């Protein structure tokens, strides 16, 4: 991993700083890592509660136990659901430029009270 030696400084209101720190904490990331990921177009995921992993594992166990007693179509639907859960909740996604611009526009509207 390349050493991080270059700094970027920005000015925030105390309220903005607290919000960013809280968002980073929800993702179990440092403030720097959270801002780095957001600036590079990634959408960090919040840390899922332990109960999520319990139910996800139960779903996978259930799928394995009924492997030979369901139709191929039903099995594929179950597999797709498990993959969707994993992708949507556990995989860091990257936004494209258009999505980032739209999100920033929303932030600006909210900040201006529009």
The tens digit of pLDDT for each residue in 76-100 reads 887 888 777 777 766 666 777 787 7
Question: Which token pair is 7?
Answer: 């700094």
Matching residue, tokens 């860091």 = 92
The tens digit of pLDDT for each residue in 27-75 reads 888 999 889 888 888 888 777 777 777 877 888 887 777 777 778 888 7
Residue 53: Cβ within 10 Å count: 11
Residue 64 CA to residue 57 CA, distance in Å, equals 11
Q: Where in the chain are the domains?
A: 12-47, 48-94
- Per-residue confidence at 114, pLDDT binned at 50, 70, 90? low
pLDDT beyond 80 at 11: yes
Could you tell me if 31 and 21 are in contact, meaning their C-beta atoms sit under 8 angstroms apart? yes
State residue 113's pLDDT score.
Answer: 65
- Per-residue confidence at 112, pLDDT binned at 50, 70, 90? low
> What element of type H or E holds 101?
helix 97-112
State residue 17's pLDDT score.
Answer: 93
């Amino acid at each position: 991993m390349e050493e991080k030696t270059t700094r970027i400084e920005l000015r925030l209101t105390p309220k903005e700083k607290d919000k960013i720190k809280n968002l980073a904490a929800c993702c179990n990331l440092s403030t720097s890592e959270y801002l780095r990921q957001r600036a590079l177009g990634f959408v960090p995921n919040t840390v899922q509660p332990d109960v999520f992993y319990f139910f996800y594992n139960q779903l996978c166990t259930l799928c394995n136990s009924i492997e030979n007693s369901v139709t191929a179509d039903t099995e594929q639907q179950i597999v797709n659901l498990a993959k969707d859960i994993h992708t949507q909740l556990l995989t860091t996604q990257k936004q494209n430029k258009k999505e980032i611009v739209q999100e920033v526009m929303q932030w600006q509207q909210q900040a201006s009270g529009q």
